[in-house]
């Protein structure tokens, strides 16, 4: 188990054996580390503690077997991501899903996955349109544009992960399978730092990979893209807003539609072409204009990125209820947790005497206030620089 865990953590940090050996002060060589990863020898307690310190975990983690298997449903076909970087991304996703599954199990009311994994079977790219409509219907989303894509996914325990990577990485999806073969968690992954409109379509695209049953005769990327467009902008709502046939669309109108549907100009035009609203020639001409203006990579009026909140909210709740340690909560969220409290021992005892459901309700309210304060602090730091003053 140590061999598997050590390799997972090293790859997730994007570290070479040389870099890892240097980070622990050279107390063992890279050849020794290689033997540990291959299971040919075991590290001493001293070395194990040093490695745990580098990775920011407890040494006991090296002995704990994963509670599930992570299957990577899709890595964009044609991706030019180097194998080493792909291994790093997969390692990060694997460890992140493991944390989230543990949190789900600690809070039973959070352990609810509402996702038909690769069960919406299609026989053509066009049928992805109906699959998106069916999923929206089963999730009771109606046909209005989705205000927050990350919220829709996280409400159904589909975890939204952001990975720092190069421009060659767009996204991927994964599912966590327990020992009984049941899917207990899923994740859609995007690259951090992209504009909100691109992030939203990437999330919808990866959702398509998760739910669609795509035969080998169909281009999976085209099917997932069609699904993503239909999920964000249902045909009925697009026809109502734009019409069924257009020979001309002004840029000003297109920018307003970008705000309405939360999609890029290019994605909207592609959607209009799929629905037969604009002709192929008009679509190509507009795309040429977008390229000429330099908007292919940087559009005007970029939308703000959506921020996943489930992990922070749930880990703070688990910490407050004594289900995980402060160190674990900080490792999962990547943020320091201040230990300031004005409550007296009498107040704390009175709180602990309350029914569990009431305690959880109070803690959830406090967690929501903390998140609001935290987001305000991050915005202040981004605008002014310097440290955030915690409450």
Predicted confidence at residue 374, as pLDDT, reads: 56
Predicted confidence at residue 184, as pLDDT, reads: 86
User: Helices 45-55 & 2-12, crossing angle to 10 degrees?
Assistant: 30
Predicted confidence at residue 210, as pLDDT, reads: 93
The more confidently predicted of residues 92 and 243 is 243
189 and 245 together in one domain: yes
Tell me what the mean pLDDT of segment 224-245 comes to.
97
Measure the CA–CA gap between 275 and 195, rounded to whole angstroms. Answer: 25
pLDDT tens profile 94-105: 888 988 988 988
Most confident of 161-165, 268-272, 367-371: 268-272
Predicted confidence at residue 112, as pLDDT, reads: 67
Predicted confidence at residue 79, as pLDDT, reads: 60
pLDDT bracket for residue 390 (50, 70, 90): very low
pLDDT bracket for residue 183 (50, 70, 90): confident
Predicted confidence at residue 110, as pLDDT, reads: 61
134 and 274 together in one domain: yes
Task: Answer whether 37's CB lies under 8 Å from 6's CB.
Answer: yes
Task: Answer whether 5's CB lies under 8 Å from 37's CB.
Answer: no
Residue 282 has pLDDT above 90, yes or no: yes
Residue 362: closest CA among 215, 136, 255, 354: 354
Assigned domain for 263 exists = yes
133 and 275 together in one domain: yes
Name 337's Cβ contacts closer than 8 Å, sequence gap at least 6. Answer: 316, 319, 326, 329, 330
Query: Residue 126 belongs to what domain range?
Result: 109-292
Q: What is the CATH classification number for the domain harbouring 10?
A: 1.10.260.40
Predicted confidence at residue 303, as pLDDT, reads: 94
Reduced to 3 states (helix: H, G, I; strand: E, B; else coil), residue 177 is: strand
Asked which of 11, 41, 65 is the last residue of a domain, the reply is: 65
Ranges 281-290, 316-325, 330-339: which has the least confidence: 330-339
Asked which of 41, 65, 89 is the last residue of a domain, the reply is: 65
Residue 132 has pLDDT above 80, yes or no: yes
Q: How many residues does the chain have?
A: 391
Place of tokens 């085209």: 222
Ranges 1-5, 144-148, 238-242, 316-320: which has the least confidence: 1-5
Predicted confidence at residue 387, as pLDDT, reads: 40
User: DSSP letter at 120?
Assistant: E
The more confidently predicted of residues 2 and 307 is 307
Predicted confidence at residue 383, as pLDDT, reads: 44
27 and 135 together in one domain: no
Count of Cβ atoms closer than 10 Å to residue 177 Cβ: 15
Assigned domain for 326 exists = yes
331 and 375 together in one domain: yes
156 and 222 together in one domain: yes
Predicted confidence at residue 167, as pLDDT, reads: 79
Q: Please state whether the predicted TM-score (pTM) of the whole model is above 0.85.
A: no
- Average predicted confidence (pLDDT) for the chain: 85
Tell me what the mean pLDDT of segment 344-366 comes to.
71
Task: Answer whether 233's CB lies under 8 Å from 144's CB.
Answer: no
261 and 135 together in one domain: yes
Tell me what the mean pLDDT of segment 353-375 comes to.
72
Predicted confidence at residue 105, as pLDDT, reads: 85
Assigned domain for 305 exists = no
Q: How many domains does the chain have?
A: 3
Assigned domain for 140 exists = yes
Assigned domain for 300 exists = no
Residue 169 has pLDDT above 70, yes or no: yes
43 and 173 together in one domain: no
Assigned domain for 76 exists = no
Tokens of 390: 């915690």
Residue 167: closest CA among 85, 290, 262: 85
pLDDT bracket for residue 373 (50, 70, 90): low
Tell me what the mean pLDDT of segment 300-320 comes to.
91
User: Counting beta carbons within 10 angstroms of the beta carbon of residue 214, is it exposed (0 to 12), middle (13 to 18) or buried (19 or more)?
Assistant: buried
Assigned domain for 75 exists = no
Predicted confidence at residue 378, as pLDDT, reads: 52
Measure the CA–CA gap between 297 and 384, rounded to whole angstroms. Answer: 27
Assigned domain for 341 exists = yes
273 and 235 together in one domain: yes
Predicted confidence at residue 76, as pLDDT, reads: 59
Predicted confidence at residue 8, as pLDDT, reads: 83
The more confidently predicted of residues 5 and 261 is 261
**Beta 212-213 vs 183-191: how paired, if at all?**
unpaired
Residue 368 has pLDDT above 90, yes or no: no
Tell me what the mean pLDDT of segment 50-57 comes to.
85
264 and 217 together in one domain: yes
Sign of CA dihedral 200, 206, 210, 212: positive
Measure the CA–CA gap between 304 and 126, rounded to whole angstroms. Answer: 30
The more confidently predicted of residues 58 and 224 is 224
315 and 278 together in one domain: no
Predicted confidence at residue 77, as pLDDT, reads: 53
Residue 217 has pLDDT above 60, yes or no: yes
Phi/psi at 189 (nearest 5 deg)?
A: -120, 135
43 and 146 together in one domain: no
Residue 257 has pLDDT above 60, yes or no: yes
pLDDT bracket for residue 202 (50, 70, 90): very high
Tokens of 245: 């046939």
Asked which of 224, 258, 292 is the last residue of a domain, the reply is: 292
């Amino acid at each position: 188990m140590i061999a598997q865990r050590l390799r997972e953590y090293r790859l997730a940090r994007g570290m070479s054996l040389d870099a890892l050996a240097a980070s622990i002060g050279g107390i063992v060589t890279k050849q020794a580390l290689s033997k540990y990863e291959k299971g040919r020898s075991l590290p001493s307690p001293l070395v194990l503690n040093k490695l745990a310190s580098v990775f920011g975990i407890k040494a006991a983690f090296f002995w704990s077997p994963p509670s599930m298997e992570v299957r990577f449903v899709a890595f964009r076909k044609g991706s030019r991501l180097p194998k080493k970087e792909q291994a790093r991304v997969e390692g990060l996703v694997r460890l992140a899903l493991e944390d989230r599954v543990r949190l789900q199990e600690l809070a039973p009311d959070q352990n609810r996955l509402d996702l038909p994994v690769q069960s919406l079977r299609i026989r053509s790219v066009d049928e992805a349109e109906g699959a998106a409509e069916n999923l929206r219907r089963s999730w009771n989303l109606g046909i209005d544009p989705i205000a927050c894509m990350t919220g829709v996914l996280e409400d159904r325990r589909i975890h939204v992960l952001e990975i720092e990577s190069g421009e060659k990485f767009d996204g991927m999806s994964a599912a966590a399978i327990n020992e009984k073969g049941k899917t207990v968690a899923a994740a859609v992954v995007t690259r951090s730092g992209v504009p909100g409109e691109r992030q939203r379509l990437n999330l919808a695209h990866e959702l398509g990979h998760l739910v669609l049953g795509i035969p080998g005769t169909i281009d999976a990327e085209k099917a997932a893209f069609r699904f993503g467009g239909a999920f964000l902008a249902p045909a009925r709502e697009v026809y109502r807003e734009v019409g069924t046939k257009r020979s001309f669309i002004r840029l000003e109108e297109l920018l307003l539609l970008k705000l309405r549907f939360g999609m890029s100009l290019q994605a909207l035009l592609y959607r209009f072409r799929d629905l037969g609203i604009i002709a192929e020639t008009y679509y190509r001409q507009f795309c040429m204009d977008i390229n000429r203006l330099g908007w292919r990579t940087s559009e005007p009026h970029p939308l703000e990125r959506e921020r996943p909140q489930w992990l922070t909210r749930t880990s703070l709740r688990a910490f407050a209820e004594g289900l995980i340690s402060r160190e674990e909560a900080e490792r999962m969220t990547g943020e320091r947790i201040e230990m300031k409290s004005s409550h007296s021992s009498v107040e704390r005892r009175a709180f602990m005497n309350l029914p569990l459901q009431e305690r959880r309700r109070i803690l959830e309210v406090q967690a929501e206030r903390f998140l609001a304060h935290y987001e305000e602090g991050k915005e202040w730091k981004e605008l002014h620089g310097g440290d955030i003053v915690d409450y």
